[in-house]
Chains A and B, each alone.
Chain A
């Protein structure tokens, strides 16, 4: 089955700096890669996703890149703000079978 690894487990940045979170997956058949943000005690919320036929996608301060050959994908957050502080999960999916990474706790210091 699919195995998703996520790094780093914790990340602390200064407000305004960029944050990068990286994930690798094992199953080359995975074709959909969403990223979720989860604040403490709340539901995970989809922030951006990318499909396997696309190499990069951007939405304002958030971008995701996908390297299918290397089987890794990354989340980039620019101009970080304190409200970006949360746990971020990557996931890899094929036909509704979605597996999550272990999560990255991002702290943005004001």
Chain B
């Protein structure tokens, strides 16, 4: 149980393109979803937290107009990297929890490797 699916797994596109990444909880309703960015050989850096039906909460230093997050249902959150540039190249990974409140593990998607040429 607690499977999170993330698509696409790999994106290569030109500078200036907008890229949408989907994160779906397949067998549970995700009250909260999280978006992380991971640089090579580094830790998971939280970008934003999204709750279904409300605006995402962004971490300090993360541009909300650059990284648009939509959490339209209890099973789907999307991250759109708008007008992507080479410095946006990274590994983006989502996670989800299925209960609000304490003591809940996060279940991760497989991640999306984004390469901007």
CB contact list, B1-60 vs A, under 8 A: 4, 32, 34, 41-44, 46, 49
Task: Report whether A89 and B44 are in contact in the complex, using a CB–CB cutoff of 8 Å.
Answer: yes
Contacts of B102 in A (CB 8 A): 31-32, 94-95
Task: Report whether A100 and B32 are in contact in the complex, using a CB–CB cutoff of 8 Å.
Answer: no
Q: Nearest-CB distance from A4 to chain B (Å)?
A: 9
Scoring A residues 8 to 24 as 1 if CB is less than 8 Å from chain B, else 0, what string do you get?
Answer: 00000000000000000
Count how many chain A residues have C-beta atoms less than 8 Å from C-beta atoms of the other chain.
25
Count how many chain B residues have C-beta atoms less than 8 Å from C-beta atoms of the other chain.
24
For the A-B complex, the count of residue pairs with Cβ-Cβ distances under 8 Å equals 54
Task: Report whether B108 and A100 are in contact in the complex, using a CB–CB cutoff of 8 Å.
Answer: no
CB contact list, B83-113 vs A, under 8 A: 93, 97, 100-111, 113
Name A43's contact: one of B42, B93, B97 (CB within 8 Å). Answer: B93
Contacts of B101 in A (CB 8 A): 95-96
Task: Report whether A42 and B110 are in contact in the complex, using a CB–CB cutoff of 8 Å.
Answer: yes
Per the bound structure, the CA–CA distance linking A103 and B4 in Å amounts to: 22
Contacts of B107 in A (CB 8 A): 46
B residues near A (Cβ < 8 Å) are: 4, 32, 34, 41-44, 46, 49, 93, 97, 100-111, 113
